Amino acid sequence: QVHLQESGPGLVKPSQTLSLNCTVSGDSISSTSYYWSWIRQPAGRGLEWIGRIYPTGTTNYNPSLKNRVTMSVDTSKNQLSLKLSSVTAADTAVYFCVRTATGSWGQGTQVTVSS
Amino acid sequence: DIQMTQSPSSLSASVGDRITITCQASQDINYRLNWYQQKVGKAPRRLIADASTLETGVSSRFSGSESETEFTLTISSLQPEDIGTYYCQQFDSLPVTFGGGTKVEI
């Protein structure tokens, strides 16, 4: 059974870059034909799709964040990464990585943007 | 972007009640809709895929149906463990979008 675990700094200063990793176990990112997505959820609010990445590196980003988002895959580490630049308080949220086709989610990691 | 209008935003019902949650898509999404349940402090759990396919291990009291651009999640007999927030998600067009959520209380 696949397991996804997000990790990264819990606190990021405004204007800096948020960087998160998602380590996948129980499945090989490179051997499957799944998209892997990032989704976030501000406290007490709904879900926002950030974007997705295919194992080949093909990406699709939410236009609302497109200029600030970069996703990548490290198949040697079986890991996904998310970078979000120029963060503001509005980027404070729990960030989830998701194996899209099977609806498998990580537990999420809280990121707070504050000086 | 496809807008997913979910209703109601909250509901309170009794154990054993039949409840329905609706999502209205702003355009045809070809039944590409998932339903999720989220409990406080947890990641969402997919209950239903492709509008009406029950995920393995999910109770059969959950069901999904569709009528053109309107999608419905039904809980046939509400149980205490069903409390949480429910979301619909369309994945027919990018960006993927979610309904605003329905908080279910007992």
Q: B71: closest CA among B50, B94, B45, B57? A: B50
Beta-carbon separation of A63 and B98 below 8 A? no
pLDDT at A31: 75
> A37 and B91 in contact (C-beta within 8 Å)?
no
pLDDT of residue A66 exceeding 80, the answer is no
Q: Which of A47, A44, A94, A86 is nearest to A65 (CA)?
A: A86
Distance CA A74, CA A22 (A): 10
Nearest residue, CB atoms, B95 vs list A62, A100, A108:
A62
Tokens of B61: 């009291």
pLDDT at A33: 78
> Sorting pLDDT into bands at 50, 70 and 90, what band is B24?
very high
B91 contacts in A (CB within 8 Å)?
A: 100
Average pLDDT over residues B43-58: 96
Is the pLDDT assigned to residue B33 strictly greater than 80?
yes
pLDDT band at A101 (very low <50, low <70, confident <90, very high): confident
pLDDT band at A58 (very low <50, low <70, confident <90, very high): very high
DSSP state of A54: -
Partner A, chain B 8-37, Cβ-Cβ below 8 Å: 34, 36
Judge whether B49 is closer than 8 Å to chain A, CB to CB: yes
Q: Which of A16-25, A26-35, A75-84, A91-100 has the lowest mean pLDDT?
A: A26-35
| Residue of A1 and B48 predicted with greater confidence | B48
Q: Give yes or no for residue A100 having a pLDDT over 90.
A: no
Q: In this complex, is the C-beta atom of B58 within 8 Å of any C-beta atom belonging to chain A? A: no
Alpha carbons A100 and B2: distance in angstroms, whole number = 18
Q: What average pLDDT does the segment A49-76 reach?
A: 93
